[in-house]
Structure 1
Amino acid sequence: MENVDISRWPFQKVLIANRGEIALRVIRACRDLGLQSVAVYSDADRNALHVRMADEAYHIGPAVAAQSYLNIPKLIEVARRSGAQAVHPGYGFLAENANFVDACQEAGLIFIGPSAAAQRAMGEKTAARRAARAAGVPIVPGAMTDVADDQEIISKAEELGYPVLLKAAAGGGGKGIRLVRESRDLLPSFRTARSEAQSAFGDSRVYIEKAITPARHIEVQFIADTHGNVVHLGERECSIQRRHQKLIEESPSPIMDEALRARMTEVTLNLVRSIQYVNAGTAEFLVGPDRNFYFLEVNARIQVEHPVTEWCTSVDLVQEQMRVAAGLPLSFKQEDIVLRGAAIECRISAEDPSNRFLPATGTVLGLQEPSGPGVRVDSSLYAGLQVPLFYDPLLAKLIVWGRDREQAITRLRRALDEYTILGVRTTLPFVRWLVDHPRFASADFSTDFIAEEWEGRQKVADLRVQPASAASDGQNGSTPSQSEELSLEQLAAVVASLMAQEHQEREQARRQPAAQSAASTSRWRDIARRDGLRRM
């Protein structure tokens, strides 16, 4: 991006209506542009890293998100108090809430994202399907059932053919989705889906969609400005998922060829133009075994996985979002976008893989983040941070780049070996298992991969951390009793010792014969046992 005189921009101060690593990402983009940043924080986030990093920070309420990060009047009030002229929503929370966009505009604030009209057009799934169909985008065969009686629901499912998916019309983020494989499960699942949709989104409408299996989940990143420029930045592979939640993303997709890319990006840009969309967004598709693709939805915001696109295109998407919001044209044209190399992102979350991925909490007692050529870590962690249970468990994103996918995977293994988080259970052991899996290396996977290779074959009961003492302190976030308290010097020595031991054990595991290392269950257990502070 060329140098820009921000003194001419309609905003010089940006309120970031979010937390965690995405808040830090936006703060850094502001700093690079010379803009001032305003952070907000709840009671649970008083000591969060984004609060320390921003130019200003304001308290917005209790830990419960509904009373803080989702409190639109409070956020508008803070924007006024701080003198911010623009708001960046990040992802999650209010990022795709059209009412929030309206509130910002009514308060005279610039919303750094798509318009309320575009969000309403794409945020409701059935409306998005209609818009996609009108723009000539292929959609998954399906039918609305919000007014259907039981017999009509059964008839529509039989017409589509099993398996089918039940989806909340107002859903998103992998929520409100149920797979039905047999007719006997249809009506009970449908009633449950309606109840879940009402509870999660305040909207009980559910529709039926043909389940495409096996399928790859491919998404196209795009951005548009107010000058008529609409550009795509290639695709991302997001098929490694657990219960519709993405775990690993990469760019470019290993299955992509120029013909398929041309078709998918063309229909994406047609859709974007048809709804007069402005700013960054992502169109999501399923690709079937016959290489036919079908539209799923548009995410009208910056995505968690945007760094892999940034690395392969050398475009700073967050800065471009701000540029577009300021009324400037994009700093590049379509012909300038050339995908270089391969990038892979792993999500590191505060979840316990040995216990059905239940959310974890605790204090980060020790932290060693990877670095070196081709490694990027977007993280909100620091030693001493108390990880709360109130929000999405995502702690950090590990992103690597290589000249090709093979080098990217090699760098990813090296980075994972360097990565240590003590005191809180995380998904790091699970990610190490996944990246070492031969099907991942060969790109032989679909959205069913985790169900087949982890949930279908790995017995979680057999993978539990063996010694009870291993989970008695740092693993579950508890602290030693009064009689067991350590001085800072002793604690530092313990953490340093554990880090050294962990590094040594990983080196030993890597040198095991191929036949032994293929037994990922034992290696998973070994690493999981080490992911926290043992009782000394």
Structure 2
Amino acid sequence: MFSRILIANRGEIAVRIIRAAQELGIETVAVYSEADKDSKHVRMADQAICIGPPAPNESYLNISRIIAAAEVTGAQAIHPGYGFLAENAHFADVCRECNIEFIGPSAEAMRLLGDKVECKKLAIKQRVPTSPGSKGAVESEDKAVTIANEIGYPVMIKAAAGGGGRGMRLAHDDNSLRQGMRAAIAEAENAFGNGTVYLEKFIDRARHVEVQIIGDKHGNVVHLYERDCSMQRRKQKLIEEAPCPVLDKTERDKICKAAARLCKAAGYYSAGTVEFLMDSNKQFYLMEVNTRVQVEHPVSEAITGVDIVKTQIRIAAGEELGFEQKDIKPNGHAIELRINAEDARNNFIPCAGLVDFFDPPGGIGIRLDTHVITGYRIPPNYDSMIAKLIGHAKTRDEVIILLRRALREFEIAPIKTTIPLHEDLLTDEGFLTSNVDINYVERLLEIE
């Protein structure tokens, strides 16, 4: 086991990783930007090093400064969390070239599964359901038009190296396809340095269902069941829950086993997520694989009892999983609400600034992952998520009641947050009956 690890991240995920490491008896090193000098993760860690100005490119995305921080503190491994460098295969390579273990998958698996074109090819070989579309990259507008007319409009243009909705366009006809191709390629080149795109049939009223997997360096891969992440706005998740409330055991087993099969074929180890779209007939189609720990990992931890972050660290140190698929038995229902510093009633404008008052909720079945305390100043330089509120109970109905109570307790001032939005969503009939899809929240907000 490592004696010291560095956390190459900030915010609530840095706090989460530090806690897991401390419980394993591991010393921690925090890196921080000038904007985060008073942040909670900086105070919690055994050591802390400033790696640059607030701009991510000069701090949390600066590989040389992070590696230097690890070397000067004697850190044996680096946990990247999510976002920033978490899915950067080059960063994983650099870590290992410097004899620092990267707490995540191999760079080869990251490249394979992170490239949506190559990932789809592997999925087809492993009998993992994929949506109709191009068999690989689409290199010309004319070829794209031919494929689109074969599979039928509407179609989605997607960046092979994409994520977070970037490099993605919906096309309803030949003209919008040509325009969308140009826009998607330009956006992908700018965001990822890779303008490769491919086509897939657009699935109307789809749900977003993803499978949490975890594997070790000894060839063992298991799944920790699935999550439903259909409650989204502009392709950013708002509410995640486990298990998916509309699947039966047969459907659940089929998709979870397919996800594990895909990752095993890729030689994958560490935590990862295989994401699917599910149509109204409960047919699944592979969307992408995220080669990192997910924001919403706590709901999977709640229903399985597996500490995903501790397991990641143990795997990176060479340990076996210590459990088999038959040992993982889902227990109850869990829901996570992402609390963002945004004014939901004013076009979701981000709200940075000083938190004068912070009174979090508590009670049995409630978990709050956050880096915010009274007196914390939310910087304007990073993602607006400031907390994750997780509820766990025997049934979905009980969790919803639990979270409604917790939201009433939760006070943050004077910063505007998405707490009022979640209070509305937890009483919405569509959500309560789980009659939703990935565009449901946007339609709901337009109606309001």
Q: How high is the TM-score relative to the length of structure 1?
A: 0.82
Deviates more, 1:164-173 or 1:19-28: 164-173
Distance 2:347 2:175 in 1: 27
Greater Rg, structure 1 or structure 2? Answer: 1
The alignment status of 1:212 with 2:203, answered yes or no, reads yes
For residues 306-359 of structure 1, the C-alpha deviation after alignment (integer angstroms, 9 at most, x for no partner) is: 000101011101001111111111122111111011000000112222232232
Q: Which runs of 5+ in 1 are unaligned?
A: 1-8, 459-536
Q: Secondary structure at the match of 1:142?
A: coil
Which of 339, 342, 345 is equivalent to 1:351? 342
Q: How does 1:43-62 map to 2 (within 5 A)?
A: 43-62=34-53
Which of 69, 79, 82 is equivalent to 1:88? 79
**2:231–2:237 CA contact under 8 A, matched in 1:** yes
Q: How does 1:474-513 map to 2 (within 5 A)?
A: none
The alignment status of 1:385 with 2:376, answered yes or no, reads yes
Q: Secondary structure at the match of 2:50?
A: strand
**1:145 deviation in Å?**
5.2
The alignment status of 1:411 with 2:419, answered yes or no, reads no
**1:155 deviation in Å?**
2.2
Distance 1:315 1:89 in 2: 20
**1:213 deviation in Å?**
1.3
**2:138–2:144 CA contact under 8 A, matched in 1:** no
Distance 1:412 1:155 in 2: 49
Q: Which runs of 5+ in 2 are unaligned?
A: none
Which residue of structure 2 aligns with residue 102 of structure 1?
93
Q: How does 1:2-151 map to 2 (within 5 A)?
A: 9=1, 11-143=2-134, 144=136, 146-148=138-140, 150-151=141-142
**1:153 deviation in Å?**
2.2
Which residue of structure 2 aligns with residue 156 of structure 1?
147
Q: Secondary structure at the match of 1:281?
A: strand
For residues 41-87 of structure 1, the C-alpha deviation after alignment (integer angstroms, 9 at most, x for no partner) is: 00110111110111110000010001100111111100011111011
Which residue of structure 1 aligns with residue 427 of structure 2?
436
**1:132 deviation in Å?**
1.2
The alignment status of 1:250 with 2:241, answered yes or no, reads yes
Distance 1:145 1:103 in 2: 28
Higher RCO (C-alpha under 8 Å, 6+ residues apart): 2
More strand by share: 2
**2:132–2:200 CA contact under 8 A, matched in 1:** yes
Distance 2:218 2:160 in 1: 32
**2:138–2:199 CA contact under 8 A, matched in 1:** no
The count of residues paired between Structure 1 and Structure 2 equals: 447
The alignment status of 1:451 with 2:442, answered yes or no, reads yes
Which residue of structure 2 aligns with residue 474 of structure 1?
none
**2:243–2:333 CA contact under 8 A, matched in 1:** yes
Q: Secondary structure at the match of 2:303?
A: helix
**1:145–1:153 CA contact under 8 A, matched in 2:** no
Q: Secondary structure at the match of 2:148?
A: helix
**1:320–1:331 CA contact under 8 A, matched in 2:** no
**1:186 deviation in Å?**
2.1
**2:225–2:256 CA contact under 8 A, matched in 1:** yes
**1:210 deviation in Å?**
0.7
**Structure 1 residue runs of 4 or more that deviate by more than 4 Å after TM superposition:** none
Deviates more, 1:24-33 or 1:218-227: 218-227
**2:113–2:266 CA contact under 8 A, matched in 1:** no
Which residue of structure 2 aligns with residue 394 of structure 1?
385
Deviates more, 1:286-295 or 1:159-168: 159-168
Which residue of structure 1 aligns with residue 367 of structure 2?
376
Which residue of structure 2 aligns with residue 223 of structure 1?
214
**1:106 deviation in Å?**
0.8
Which residue of structure 2 aligns with residue 269 of structure 1?
260
**1:250–1:345 CA contact under 8 A, matched in 2:** yes
Q: Secondary structure at the match of 1:212?
A: coil
Distance 1:153 1:310 in 2: 42
What RMSD in Å do the two structures reach over aligned CA positions?
1.2
